[in-house]
């Protein structure tokens, strides 16, 4: 029997990049996966195609992780389709939005970054918990930026991701009586569309050169870590923020 057989997993931001890799890996391990996406139906369908190619089970559900009605619909669809429960929640959805220094940043930008990266974790987790059996697992996504302050123009993002890590520790304590584990993945420079959009090629090359392993990470490597934290293989790991950055930053 596969490690996650009979488990149901919900992955926010599951349509592409790290979210897609996490969705595919969980399906490979036997979970029925609910792939959440906001606007990229084509990407979500590609994720479903990749899961189907590995004989996995998944559905895609559109929804904005900052809209309560969308989240409720997403959770309802997941529970109606897969037996009334969600065993695993992986909060991948997030983003930088734009690089802005404090003098360039207005209140609206600050709020948007905080909402997308931190408030979304609160909203989705709160909606899922009534449907999560005791012994479930939550994996939240922080960032190396949450530990080291991030690159130029990423102060709001860094602050939000630091919040995710500490909020996850608080939830780990709060949910421990139900044996629901809450852990955080903290990626460094990973080869994704995020860095294609927001990081200059010469910066990526320099960071890869400074990294002890001499390269960027891959979405699949991050997905392996997230799946490990979601599984019983990590049954005594709780409240941890695990760095995955090739050794360029040590917590």
Catalytic residues: 157
Q: Which residues contact 214 (CB under 8 A, 6 or more apart)?
A: 208, 246
User: What is the separation of C-alpha 75 from the centre of its chain, rounded to a whole number of angstroms?
Assistant: 17
77, containing H or E segment: helix 68-81
User: What is the separation of C-alpha 123 from the centre of its chain, rounded to a whole number of angstroms?
Assistant: 14
Angle (nearest 5°) at CA 92 between 88 and 96:
165
From 145, 17, 41, select the one nearest 93 (Cα to Cα). Answer: 17
Q: Where are the beta strands (DSSP E) in 68-221?
A: 88-91, 137-141, 181-187
């Amino acid at each position: 029997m596969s490690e996650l057989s009979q488990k149901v997993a919900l992955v926010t931001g599951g349509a592409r990049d790290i979210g897609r890799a996490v969705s595919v890996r969980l399906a490979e391990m036997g979970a029925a996966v609910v792939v959440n996406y906001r606007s990229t139906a084509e990407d979500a369908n590609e994720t479903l195609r990749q899961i189907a190619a590995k004989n996995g089970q998944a559905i895609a559900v559109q929804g904005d992780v900052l809209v309560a009605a969308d989240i409720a619909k997403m959770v309802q669809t997941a529970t109606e389709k897969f037996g009334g429960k969600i065993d695993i929640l992986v909060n991948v959805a997030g983003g930088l939005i734009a690089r802005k220094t404090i003098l360039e940043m207005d209140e609206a930008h600050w709020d948007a970054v905080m909402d997308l990266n931190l408030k979304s974790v609160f909203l989705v987790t709160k909606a899922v918990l009534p449907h999560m059996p005791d012994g479930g697992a939550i994996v939240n996504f922080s960032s190396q930026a949450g530990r080291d302050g991030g690159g130029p123009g990423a102060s709001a993002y860094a602050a939000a991701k630091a919040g995710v890590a500490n909020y996850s520790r608080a939830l780990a304590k709060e949910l421990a009586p139900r044996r629901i584990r809450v852990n955080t993945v903290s990626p460094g420079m990973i080869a994704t569309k995020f860095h294609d959009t927001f990081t200059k090629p010469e910066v990526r090359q320099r960071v890869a050169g400074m990294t002890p392993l001499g390269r960027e990470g891959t979405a699949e490597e991050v997905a392996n870590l997230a799946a490990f934290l979601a599984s019983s293989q990590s049954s005594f790991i709780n409240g941890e923020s695990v760095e995955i950055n090739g050794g360029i930053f040590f917590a």
